[in-house]
Structure 1
Amino acid sequence: MEKNRERYDSYEKILRDRQRELESRLNRIDVDLGRTKEQDSDDRATESENDEVLEGLGQAGQAELRAIRAALDRIDNGTYGLCARCGEPISPERLAAVPYAPLCEDCMS
């Protein structure tokens, strides 16, 4: 298990860096969404549209953060890099593209 752990240290760094980046971004989104709204109706309409975009980004960020945390858990328990469905190894190319991928390409299809 320790051998697998060493093998995936670089992925852990990538995941932790992305986790910090997302947490920072989500914090900024929360601050932006909590700011005082303008009284002018035209400005409020624009702010409302902006808030919808921010909420969408926040939801996507939360989903990615959950996937990252799950991947970090898999690193800790020695199952990182193995497909959660079939148990086969996830290709290095897939992990390079999506380091938090829980499924191999076959199971993803």
Structure 2
Amino acid sequence: MAHRDVLDALQRDYTTRAEAIRRDLGRTHSADFAEQAQQRQNDEVLEALLAEAEQGLVRVRQAQQRLAEGRYGECLCCGEPIDAARLAAMPVAEYCLHCAEFN
């Protein structure tokens, strides 16, 4: 699968996830106090998951920008190529393995 296709699939996944979480957060809460307290705790977890999905979207967009500029797969720190296995495992990787240890 081409890098663009992988990044596009990741973007769709994060977008779908964020939309589902937003829908869940938009629901009304129970009038029952005990149940409402549980729902508020669940909302905190959902908000953390939403922040993670939104951060994922930012990283995907940055990777897509690097791809458009011809810099995808180059370490942002040292400029060396990022290992293909690392990009396969983490398509939004910004750093080679060596530099990732220090950033």
Fold similarity call, TM over 0.5: yes
* Residues in 2 aligned to 1:24 and 1:73: alpha-carbon distance in whole angstroms: 21
Cα distance between partner residues in 1 of 2:44 and 2:89? 28
1:42 Cα offset (Å): 1.2
Matched, 1:29 2:16: no
> Does residue 12 of the first structure (1) align with residue 4 of the second (2)?
yes
Of the three residues 78, 81, 91, the one matched with 1:86 is 78
1:55 and 1:15 map into 2 onto residues whose CA distance is 24
Alignment map for 1:27-106 (pairs within 5 Å): 27-106=19-98
Partners in 1 of 2:91 and 2:10 — Cα distance? 10
Greater helix content: 1
Gaps of 5+ in 1: 1-8
Q: Give the total of aligned pairs.
A: 101
Q: Which runs of 5+ in 2 are unaligned?
A: none
- Between the aligned partners of 2:10 and 2:92, the Cα distance in structure 1 is 10
Output the CA distance in 1 between the equivalents of 2:42 and 2:85. Answer: 36
Note the aligned Cα RMSD (angstroms).
Answer: 1.0
User: Runs in 1 of length 4+ with deviation above 2 angstroms?
Assistant: none
> Percent same amino acid among aligned pairs?
40
User: TM-score scaled to structure 2, two decimals?
Assistant: 0.94
CA shift digits 1:49-102 (9 cap, x unpaired): 111110110111111111100000000000001001110000011101100001
